[in-house]
Structure 1
Amino acid sequence: MGKNNVLTIIKKYRLLIIFSLLFLTGCGTEITPIDGSSTGIFDHYFIYPFSLLIKTLANILGSYGLSIIIITLAIRLVLLPFMMKQMKASQIGQEKMKIMKPEMEQIQEKYRSKKGTDHQLDMQKELTALYKKHQYNPFQMAAGCLPMLIQLPFLFAFYYAIRRTPEISAQSFLWFDLGQTDIILVLIAVAIYFLQAKVSLIGLPETQKKQMAILGYFSPVMIGVISLNSPAVLPLYWAVGGLFVLLQTLYMKKFLTNGVTKDPKKALQE
């Protein structure tokens, strides 16, 4: 049963997992220097503008490290309202499901021993009526993942802009060279993503914690492995973005999620 639950979670988040792997490993995209003559829609209209922004801001600030930090935080701030909306929609959906669960189990038990297409259709009709009664739309809840999918092209573009802007490698920031691997920075990035995974499990039921922990701890392991073979600019980017998401998750868990849980009726009416 536990294995089936894990497989269900992996299947549910398969697109996110695939995108995350592509994002972390850089598969499917060349790592040649980017410039104004680069062809391709994604290269010319997404990656190159970010590369130009990195260099322009670095010239103003006198630091490529600061440029990457500021752009990373700016992107996360722009995406913050969408992520908060997504998390709230997800929490409301969970609260509705808790309310409906006893009635759903009664309906499922009613048809458990009944075979045949007609009985299955009758069960689906009763479940649909139950969803309508509680104003629960499973398709609308699934659409709550759209903000996560919308942000991916921009995160991809910035990530590849960092990798394909050769000027960055010749610069230093704080105690490390941006173009060389730095063990201390790698450990910082891994620790931040490990804490982020721990924080994301706060408030979840024990069974769900065990299931989600498998996916949650996958990111710090991958980031650690890749960062050990990458220039320090990448773990710098991951550390800054991961720290922002860590604080964002703490805030939403404390204020947003708790608000929905403590007064679900009010939240469900919003």
Structure 2
Amino acid sequence: MARKLGLIGLLIGLMVVMTGCFSIDQPIKVENDGFWDSFFVYPLSWLITTIAEALGNSYGLGIICVTIILRIVILPLMIKQTKSTKAMQALQPQMKEIREKYSAKDQATQQKLQKETMALFQEHSVNPLAGCLPIFVQMPILIALYHAIIRTPQINPDVDPTYTGAPQDFLWFELGSADPYFILPLVAGATTFIQQKMMMVQDNPQMKMLLYIMPIMIIAFAAFFPSALALYWVIGNLFMIVQTHFITGPNVGKVKDAKTGGANKK
């Protein structure tokens, strides 16, 4: 679990670094060359713009629609992550018994602990790293969407001196600027907390710590990033909350008992 937490922290740090490693001060256009602009940033910018124009030049609605489209595209991975998380949650009692059985800190005992834990995962076809794949998939999408937002003149007029249009408003905020009332960052943090709470593995101190750290980080980022990106987080979190609610049926997260072939109750 500590490795997973470290991986998440590394990816977040990488996202922050990468947002400054490209030409964010240049408007995104169809003639932009380079793999990143041509295949990641421009398609998202074009999609937001096209949908916004079809909806009466509402770029807020365009971002919402693109967010839902992206979530639907990665839905199979997210379903797999949700089921894997719930399966890990169902195995917590057995994992606790194994940890108590091999509580000694010597190397030989710890090797037995790891071996028996892996045997438990294999017995119930649970991959403890399955939840990491969606993180790898989402990270370049999130970075590309950040670039699409910050480099689309209709959303952020400052990026293109030749653009004469007015900044795009949505609800109470400008999409290209941070929310002046900090309402959207707080909503982003709250929905992040709810979404993580629904998927949290019980009796796990590291996950409980992450439950509070992630919303705080999201609030901090959303308070300074363009509101359009915070809007993406809010809609994405709401999508995940609804998705988790419907995916987490009575049999999801339950593992079959090796002896009876039935399902263990939580």
TM-score by length of 2: 0.73
Aligned counterpart, 2:83: 88
**How far apart, in 1, do the equivalents of 2:85 and 2:173 lie?**
40
Q: Structure 1, residues 205-232: CA drift from partner, whole Å, max 9, x if none?
A: 7752x53343233333333333333433
Query: Any stretches of 5+ residues in structure 1 without a counterpart?
Result: 1-7
Distance 1:163 1:101, change over 3 A: same
Q: Given that residues 131 and 137 in structure 1 are in contact (C-alpha distance below 8 angstroms), is that contact kept between their aligned partners in structure 2?
A: no
Question: Mapping of 1:86-125 within 5 angstroms?
Answer: 86-96=81-91, 98-99=93-94, 101-102=96-97, 105-106=100-101, 108=102, 112=104, 123=112
Q: Which runs of 4+ in 1 moved over 6 A?
A: none
**How far apart, in 1, do the equivalents of 2:233 and 2:114 lie?**
47
Distance 1:238 1:206, change over 3 A: closer
**How far apart, in 1, do the equivalents of 2:74 and 2:220 lie?**
27
Q: Are residue 41 (structure 1) and residue 30 (structure 2) matched?
A: no
- The one-letter amino acid of 1:127's match is E
Q: Given that residues 61 and 67 in structure 1 are in contact (C-alpha distance below 8 angstroms), is that contact kept between their aligned partners in structure 2?
A: yes
Aligned counterpart, 1:155: 142
- Higher mean displacement: 230-239 or 160-169: 230-239
Aligned counterpart, 1:135: 123
**How many residues end up aligned between the 2 structures?**
247
Query: Any stretches of 5+ residues in structure 2 without a counterpart?
Result: 157-166
CA RMSD of the aligned region, Å?
3.6
Which residue of 9, 12, 18 corresponds with 2:4? 12
**How far apart, in 1, do the equivalents of 2:42 and 2:121 lie?**
50
- The one-letter amino acid of 1:30's match is S
- The one-letter amino acid of 2:4's match is K
Structure number with higher helix proportion = 1
C-alpha displacement at 1:120, in angstroms? 6.5
- Higher mean displacement: 85-94 or 194-203: 194-203
- The one-letter amino acid of 1:29's match is F
C-alpha displacement at 1:68, in angstroms? 0.7
Aligned counterpart, 1:60: 54
C-alpha displacement at 1:83, in angstroms? 1.0
**How far apart, in 2, do the equivalents of 1:122 and 1:211 lie?**
21
**How far apart, in 2, do the equivalents of 1:200 and 1:22 lie?**
21
**How far apart, in 2, do the equivalents of 1:33 and 1:22 lie?**
23
Q: Structure 1, residues 59-109: CA drift from partner, whole Å, max 9, x if none?
A: 222221111110011111222232121221232244345336546654x36
Question: Mapping of 1:188-267 within 5 angstroms?
Answer: 188-202=184-198, 207-208=203-204, 210-252=205-247, 255-256=248-249, 258-260=250-252, 264-265=256-257, 266=262
Aligned counterpart, 1:4: none
Aligned counterpart, 1:29: 22
- The one-letter amino acid of 1:181's match is A
Q: Aligned residues: percent identity?
A: 33
Distance 1:89 1:203, change over 3 A: closer
